[in-house]
Amino acid sequence: MYTTLKNVTQTAEDLNMTIGAFNAHNLEMMPEMIRAAKEMGSPIIIQTSIATARYIGFKVMVAVAKQLAEDEMVDVALHLDHAQDFDDIKEAIDSGYTSVMYDGSQLPFKENIAKTRAVVQYAHKHGASVEGELGTIGGTEEGIHVEEADRIYTSPEDVVEFVKETGVDALAIAIGTNHGQFKSKTEVNIPLLKEIHQVTDIPLVVHGGTGVKEEDYPDLINNGIRKFNVGTELLVNWTKEAKACFAETPVNKSLRHNVIPANLAVKEIIKHKIGLFMNVDSPIKVAQ
């Protein structure tokens, strides 16, 4: 079923798991991404940057996601990641995206609340979900770079007020992760996550998931992480496989022979991640 972020994170809350939010960097990736979720028995969030959505076409993304969700019998949410411009958000929602992230994390706290609230009002009126962000996540995402010295961790006190005043459906928090990190792993601040989880029941979101150690997944999930973003790992491995195939393929051989192995590499990563995200060794309900 083609559904919303709110619905799939409710499933995650009910089962004490997290839902993988995987960045589609081109249209060719999408069928195998969704088939991976089908084979693992999990919902999936397909997310795009604004640049990717424009490259493919907002309405094309929606049409393909809807059709694949129906054909493969998988709960699929289509999410616009890190949007800061109201026009981009409106275009995504009007085109049929079921979820958007408004990233006001670089703004003063009150301005972030006011602008996020406006997005929530429009999105909810049209049946879409909204993810907000508090604190600043390190690294580089679509050309936006945050230095380590400029990173701000999320305040539990701010979370309470932000969620109350905005009505967001999910909240991205800064607990030490970095966008674009794939050559090393970060130290996530689990004690801070626990503090945040104790003061809110809003679904929490990890950005920069490629740089998170897999052994930290259970602690993250058991403390409220219900959406887990993975993008760089997919991009790097798709490109590696495609480069190897293109280097060896005759120029008159169909392109699909180069692209299919890259898509399958992405599929296997997603299946592996979903297997961990399902948190099968932890109980459905975790004592607080």
- List the catalytic residues: 81
| C-alpha–C-alpha distance, residues 78 and 60, integer Å | 12
CA distance 151 to 159: 17
Instruction: Tell me whether residue 207 is exposed, middle or buried, using C-beta atoms within 10 angstroms of its C-beta: 0 to 12, 13 to 18, 19 or more.
Output: buried
SS3 category, 99: strand
Distance between CA 81 and CA 86 in Å, rounded?
A: 13
Give the three-class secondary structure for 24. coil
Return all residues near 56 (Cβ < 8 A) that are at least 6 apart: 26, 27, 48
**Distance between CA atoms of residues 91 and 229, nearest Å:** 22
Distance CA 134, CA 57 (A): 29
Q: Check: CB of residue 97 under 8 Å from CB of residue 84.
A: no
How far, in Å, CA of 24 to CA of 47, rounded? 6
Encoded amino acid at 200, one letter:
T
Residues in the chain: 288
DSSP state of 229: E
